[in-house]
Amino acid sequence: MPNSASYHMYPCGDHAVTIELGNKVNAAINQKVISLFSYLKDQSIHGVKDIIPAYHTLTIVYDTALLRKKITTTTVYEWVCRQIQKAIENCKMAIAKTPALVRIPVCYDLSLAPDLKTLAAAHQIGIDEVIQWHTGKSYRVYMIGFLPGFAYMGSVHEKISTPRKASPRTLVPGGSVGIAGEQTGIYPFDSPGGWQLIGQTPIAIFNIHKTQPCLLQPGDEVTFYPISLTEFQKMKDHEPAHS
Amino acid sequence: MSLLIHKQGLLDTIQDTGRYGYQHLGINTGGAMDTIAMKISNALVGNSLEEPVLEMHFPAAEIVFEEAVLMALCGADFTAEINGEALPVLHPVMIQKGSVLKFKKNVTGARVYLAVSGGYISSEWLNSNSTNLTVKAGGFEGRPLQKNDRLLLTRNAFDTFLFKDASFIPLPWSPNFSGFYTNHTFQFIPGAEYHYLNSVSAKRFENNYFTILLQSNRMGYRLKGENLELQNHKEMISSAVTKGTIQLLPDGQLIILLADHQTTGGYPRIGHVISSHIASLAQMRAGEKIDFRQTTLPDAEEQLFKQQRDLQLLQNACTFRLQSYFKN
C-alpha cells in the first residue's frame, strides 16, 4: 500500500476524480494502478459508474447528481475522495492478482507488415532480428484506450523502438500489430492509425458476441509468436472477422 | 407498429444515456449528445427519462408513421412538418397513421430527439441501447438508420385517437425548458494542466471567442481561436479523459471531448466544461462562437444537481398532464 505521499488526487471535471500513483511509465507504478483498480471494482462504491486505469493513474467516474441527493455536508468530490482514501488504506497493493498470460500468434510476412522493412533498415538490423526482438520478451498491458480493446503494451526492446509515422494512415486493417515508441499494440478494428505496422494477428482481439468482448485486460502479460502466412490464413478462417 | 425510414438522414441513431462500466476496456460511453433534450422528449410522451430515443442531425430522415403514435420532438429546430404542415416542437403530438414527417431547414441547434410513447424496439449491448458505430453494436443493428429501415415500436398504436381529418393533434401544453440551456458562454473548472498555460494564453482562454469548426462531430468539437501556449513543456503520459474535457492540441488549438470521445488521451487538459452545460454545447453548430468562464467545483455540482431536480419536476408535471388528458 502506498503511503499518502505516494499518490495525489485531482478532479477530472465535475463527475470524475483522477488518482496519480507516480509520475512515469513504469511496471511497478502500473501494478499499483491495476491492484487498486481490481480492489475498487470489488468494493462497488455507491454512485461509481466507471473505473479507468491508465499508465500511472486511475480515474473514477461517478454520478454527481445521484450522490448529491445523499451528500449534503461536503462536495460529492470530497466524499468520493474519502472513499478512495479508505480503499487505498485497506488495499494490499503489494498482493497483485497473478496476471493472465496471453500468447498471440503474429504473421510477420511482408504482405501484412507494410513498415517492417523500413523499421529494420532504420535500426540497421535484419527483418529476422526485428521479429526476434519483438517475440523475445513478454509485454505488460499498461492500459486500454484509443479503440475498444486496444491494449497499450510495453516495453519493446530499444533495438526496435520506433516513433509513430509522421503522417498516420487513413486505414489500418484490424489485427495489425504495430510499434509506437516503446509501445506495441494490436488494432482490434479497421481504423486510421499512425503506428509502425510490423505484422498481423489472425485472432480476434475484440468479439462483441462475448460477455467479455476484449481478449486483453489491463495488467495482462502478453507474448507474441511467429506464424507463417499459410498458418495465418488457416487460423483466420476459423476466427470471427475483424470488424 | 413501426416507423419507416423513407429517406435517409445524415446521421440518425438510437441513443440512451450512455454505456457505463466498460471504459477500462476502451469502450466509450456514447449516448445522446444532448441528454436534456433526450430526457424531455421522453417525459413529454410519458416514458422513463432513460428510454432510448432517436437522435437526428440535419438533414434528418424523412419518416413515415405506419401506425398512429404519440410522439414528441425536442432539441434542435429543424422546421418539422407533417404532411406539409408545421409541427410544433416541445409538445406531445398525436400522429395519424400514414403521416410523413419531414424536416425542412436547420433553424437552431444541432440535434433533434424523437421519442415515441412506449419507446422503440432496439438492441442492447453491454447494458445500453446506444449505438456504438466503431464496434457496430447496440441500437438499430449498431448503425445509423437507412432508407427502408423499419424501426419497430414497443406499444400498440393509438387507434382510439379521434383524428377526424387532422393528420396530427398537438396536446395543449409545452414545458418551459429555457432554464435548462445556457447561451454561448460555457462554464468550466480548471483541468490538471490549466496552470501550465502562460499568462497571455490564460487570459485569451477566458476573454476570447472560439469558433466551432466543421470537423466537429459526436467525438468532440474542434475550436479555432488565437493559439494557446503552455509556459513550459510538460511531458504528458496518457490517462483517462471525460465528457467535457478541453484538451490543448499540439497546434495550439482546443478540442472539447463529447459523447463518443476516446476513453484516454495524452494532450494537456486545460479544463472541463461543467456537466450541466454539455447539453447546450451539444446544440452548438459549426461556425458558431463560444467562450469560456471559470467556475468552482462546488458550483458545478450544485448546478448539475438543480438541473436534474428540475428535470424530475418537469417529468412529474408531464405525467400528470398526460394522465388527466387521457382520462377525459
Residues A64 and A109 in one domain: no
The complex scores an ipTM of: 0.95
Q: What is the CATH number of the domain that holds A213?
A: 2.40.100.10
Digit-coded pLDDT (tens) for B66-82: 999 999 999 999 999 99
Binning pLDDT at 50, 70 and 90, where does residue A4 land? very low
Which of B237, B272, B281, B305 is the best substitution to test chain A (most A C-beta atoms within 10 A)? B237
What integer pLDDT is reported at residue A94 of this predicted model? 56
Cβ separation of A148 and B26 shorter than 8 Å? yes
A83/A151 same-domain check:
no
Mean predicted confidence (pLDDT) in B24-40: 97
Q: Which domain holds residue A13?
A: 4-90
More confident residue, B13 or A164: B13
Are B20 and A15 inside 8 Å of each other by CB?
Answer: no
Mark which of A60, A90, A120 sits at the end of a domain: A90
**pLDDT band (50, 70, 90) for residue A93:** low
Report the residue count for chain B.
Answer: 328
In whole angstroms, how far apart are CA A41 and each of A44, A60, A97, B307? Answer: 6, 10, 13, 29
CB pairs under 8 A between A and B: 144
The string of DSSP codes covering A101-152 is EEEEEEE--GGG-TTHHHHHHHTT--HHHHHHHHHSS-EEEEEE-SSTT-EE
- Which is nearest to B46 in space by CA: B282, B318, B234, B297? B318
What distance in Å separates the CA atoms of residue B41 and residue B149, rounded to the nearest whole number? 22
The position carrying cell 480515474 is A59
- Residue B273, strand partner residues: B188
Q: B134 and A51 in contact by Cβ < 8 A?
A: no
pLDDT in tens, A115-148: 999 999 999 999 999 999 999 999 999 999 989 9
Note whether B242 contacts A53, CB cutoff 8 Å. no
Cell of B212: 466551432
d(CA A234, CA A230): 6
Q: What is the CA radius of gyration of chain A?
A: 20
A contacts of B23 (beta carbons < 8 Å):
50, 52, 61
| B261 touching A (Cβ < 8 Å) | no
Q: Which of B295, B37, B281 is nearest to A14 (CA)?
A: B295
| B289 vs A95 pLDDT, higher one | B289
Enumerate the residues of chain A whose CB falls inside 8 A of the CB of residue B259. Answer: none
CB B138 within 8 A of CB B132: yes
Percent of chain A with pLDDT over 70: 94
- One-letter amino acid identity for B68? A
Chain B contact for A192 (CB, 8 A cutoff): no
User: What domain count does chain A have?
Assistant: 2
**398532464: which residue's cell?**
B321
Of B24, B269, B272, the CB nearest to A144: B24
CB contact under 8 A, B24 and A37: yes
Of A55, A76, A148, the CB nearest to B134: A148
How would residue A243 be classed by pLDDT, with cut points 50, 70 and 90? very low
The model's pLDDT over A194-240, given as tens digits with 9 standing for 90+, comes to 999 999 999 999 998 888 899 999 999 999 999 999 999 999 998 76
**Measured between CB atoms, does A79 come within 8 Å of chain B?**
no
**Cβ atoms within 10 Å of B83's Cβ, excluding its own:** 15
Same domain, A54 and A108: no
A149 interfacial to chain B (CB closer than 8 Å): yes
Which of A59, A90, A121 represents a domain boundary (last residue)? A90
User: Do A123 and A170 sit in the same domain of this protein?
Assistant: yes
Q: Residue A68 gets which letter from DSSP? A: H
The rounded distance, in Å, linking the Cα atoms of B320 and B326 is 10
How many C-beta atoms lie closer than 10 Å to residue B288's C-beta? Answer: 13
Strand A221-227 and strand A101-107: the pairing is parallel
Please give the pLDDT value at position B165: 83
The answer to whether B26 contacts A12, with C-beta atoms less than 8 Å apart, is no
Same domain? For A67 and A132 the reply is no
Please state, as a whole number, how many other Cβ atoms lie within 10 Å of the Cβ of residue B265.
22
Q: Which range among A111-120, A160-169, B141-150, B213-222 shows the weakest confidence by mean pLDDT?
A: A160-169
Distance to chain B for A208, nearest Cα, Å: 7
Mean pLDDT of chain B: 95
* Same-domain check for residues A124 and A219: yes
How many CA within 13 A on the CB side of residue B74? Answer: 32
State the CATH number of the domain containing residue A48.
3.30.1360.40
Mark which residues 44-73 of A lie under 8 Å from B by CB.
49-57, 59, 61, 64-65, 68-69
Cis, peptide link before residue A202, omega less than 30° from 0: no
The full set of domain ranges for chain B reads: 2-175, 185-295
What per-residue confidence (pLDDT) applies to A95? Answer: 58
Closest residue by Cα to residue B258 from B15, B9, B8: B15
For residue A3, pLDDT over 60 is answered with: no
Q: What is the dihedral of CA B146, B147, B149, B150, to 10 degrees?
A: 130
Q: A68 and B301 in contact by Cβ < 8 A?
A: yes
**pLDDT tens track for B119-162:** 999 999 999 999 999 999 999 999 999 999 999 999 876 766 67
The answer to whether residue A242 is domain-embedded is no
Q: Are residue A161 and residue A59 in the same domain, yes or no?
A: no
Which residues of chain B are within 8 Å of residue A76 when distances are taken between CB atoms?
Answer: 301
Quick one: how many helices (H) and strands (E) in chain A? 6, 13
pLDDT for the residue B235:
72
CB–CB of A14 and B189 under 8 A?
yes
Q: Does B5 have pLDDT greater than 70?
A: yes
Could you tell me if residue B269 is left (phi over 0), alpha (psi between -120 and 50 degrees) or otherwise beta? beta
* pLDDT tens-digit map of A22-46: 988 999 999 999 999 999 999 889 9
Q: Which residues of chain A are within 8 Å of residue B137 when distances are taken between CB atoms?
A: 208
| pLDDT higher at A72 or B163 | A72
Q: Which of B21, B28, B189 shows the shortest C-beta gap to A13?
A: B189
Task: Classify residue A232: in a domain, yes or no.
Answer: yes
Q: In this structure, are residues B151 and B12 in contact, taking their beta carbons and an 8 Å threshold?
A: no
Q: Does A96 reside within a domain?
A: no
Alpha helices in B80-198, H assignment, sequence order: none
Q: Which fold has domain B185-295?
A: Cyclophilin (2.40.100)
Regarding whether A113 and A224 lie in a shared domain, the answer is yes
- A139 and A113 share one domain: yes
Q: Which of B21, B301, B307 sits opposite A50 (nearest CB)?
A: B21
Host H or E run for residue B234: none
C-alpha cell at B297: 467545483
The full DSSP string for B35-61 is HHHHHHHHHHTT--TTS-EEEE-SSPP
Q: Decide: pTM greater than 0.80.
A: yes
Query: Does residue A179 share a domain with residue A119?
Result: yes
- B264 and A145 within 8 Å at the Cβ level: the answer is yes
Task: Check whether residue A66 and residue A111 sit in a common domain.
Answer: no
Stronger pLDDT, B236 or A186, i.e. the higher one: A186
**A36 part of contact set with chain B, CB < 8 Å:** no
Q: CB within 8 A of A142, min separation 6: which ones?
A: A25, A30, A54, A55, A152, A153, A154, A183, A218
Q: How distant is the Cα of B309 from the closest Cα of chain A, in angstroms?
A: 9
* Residue A95 domain flag: no
A117 and A80 share a domain? no
Say whether residue B263 is in contact with chain A using an 8 A CB cutoff.
yes
Please tell me which of the candidates B24, B272, B308 has its beta carbon nearest to residue A12. Answer: B272
Any B CB within 8 A of A37 CB: yes
The rounded distance, in Å, linking the Cα atoms of B72 and B324 is 18
What proportion of chain B, given as a percentage, has pLDDT over 90? 89
Tens digit of pLDDT for each residue in B159-204? 666 778 889 999 999 998 889 999 999 999 999 999 999 999 999 9
Question: Mean pLDDT in chain A?
Answer: 92
Angle at B55 between CA B311 and CA B79, to 5 degrees: 90
From chain B, the residues in CB contact with A65 under 8 A are 304-305, 307-308
- Residue indicated by cell numbers 478494428: A189
